[in-house]
Amino acid sequence: MLKEKNEVLDKKEKRKFILLLILFCSVLIVNEAVAQNIPITELTKNKYALQNLKLALSSDNCGVKRSAIYMIGRYKIAEGEIILENMLHTEKDPCTKVFIMLVLLELNEQKGLGALKDLAKNELNEDIIKTATHIFYEHLLNDFEFTDEKR
């Protein structure tokens, strides 16, 4: 009798656990889908945060620069989009340019994506032109799929 009671309790606990897991996953999915770019002042109370980010982006150290670019994309820092657009035209390293393009795709702002389109028209490096074109095309596909899901 006691064994049967424990089995029933185990089944109820498993159901609760599965339900909580499904709920947790759905919250994560919804949170990621509606994430918007936020000002850096909402992420940190440090008054020098934006200044430090700009300093890291202008660094000669490639690792520091790429880490700052990553942070902009990871935390969707709104002020970073304008800085990255400017960097897209002045950056010499092709790998860093590609990384900037991917972060602009992640930020998903029309002005930044327009900068990709301009880069594809004005760039001299053939690989950068192809990459910018493919990234912009990816944005168009994602945007099209998102509008199809709404219908």
Mean pLDDT within 16-45: 59
pLDDT in tens, 87-134: 988 998 888 998 998 898 888 887 878 888 888 888 888 888 888 888
Q: What percent of the chain has pLDDT over 70?
A: 72
Q: Which fold has domain 40-150?
A: Leucine-rich Repeat Variant (1.25.10)
146 pLDDT band, cuts 50/70/90, is low
pLDDT in tens, 47-80: 888 899 999 999 999 999 999 999 998 888 888 8
- Indicate the domain borders of the chain: 1-34, 40-150
Q: Are 112 and 84 in contact (CB under 8 A)?
A: yes
Q: Are 113 and 136 in contact (CB under 8 A)?
A: yes
